[in-house]
Amino acid sequence: MKAQRDKNRDVEQVLKAACPTGPSSQLKRQVIGAAKRAWRREPQEISWQVPLRRLAVSAAAAVLVVSLTNLAVDRSLVRWQAGGLRVAGWEPGDVDAVSEAVYGSRVRYLVAAIRRASAADWRQYREQMQRVLDEAQESGTPDRPAAPNGRSRLLPVPAETGAFS
């Protein structure tokens, strides 16, 4: 370790026979002049400008990202739109396909009632239906509730409410 240090000391002594030259006074004038000109040309930012600028940049970046995402989504959906978009839907007629072994005739009756009451007052309708079902249960589950005067008991009487066709 000591030998290493002595060797380094020898080389250090040799190196000290020369040295890098320092800056001249002319260089000092030139550099400081250039720096001060730059100082005057570019005034320091006022403190409130910094967050404002950051906000503007963030907003611009957000708009850019949203626009690019919209563009990408539109492009990816083009092939789906070309053939026409088919959406699965439910039609009231589909209820006919419901087959109930035990309640088949009752379900068909209810469906027919629902169709007739397309613009019915649903609250009144629900109460009435509940009443019909209760009666049906009490009277030993007839297949079809009796219709007074040939009309469905599920529907409100038009004369009373005037709301059903």
Partner 1 sequence: MKKRSADDAIRAALARDDPAAVELIWDRYVGDLFAFLQAMLRCRQDAEDVLQMVFVKIVRKRRHLAGARRLDAYVYQIARNEASRFLKQRGKRAVEARDGSWLSPAEADNVRREWAEHLQHALERLPDGQREVIVLKIYREKTFKEIARMLDLSANTVASRYRYGMERLRILLKDAKS
| Interface with partner 1 (CB under 8 A) | 4, 7-8, 10-12, 14-23, 27-28, 30-32, 34-36, 38-40, 42-45
Angle between helices 122-138 and 104-116 (to 10 degrees): 160
Nearer to partner 1, 10 or 91 (CB): 10
- With beta carbons less than 8 A apart as the criterion, state whether 77 and 116 touch: no
- SS3 sequence, 119-140? CCCHHHHHHHHHHHHHHHHHCC
Nearer to partner 1, 41 or 86 (CB): 41
- Smallest distance, Å, CB 54 to partner 1? 14
Nearer to partner 1, 1 or 102 (CB): 1
Report the chain's C-alpha Rg in angstroms: 46
- Smallest distance, Å, CB 6 to partner 1? 11
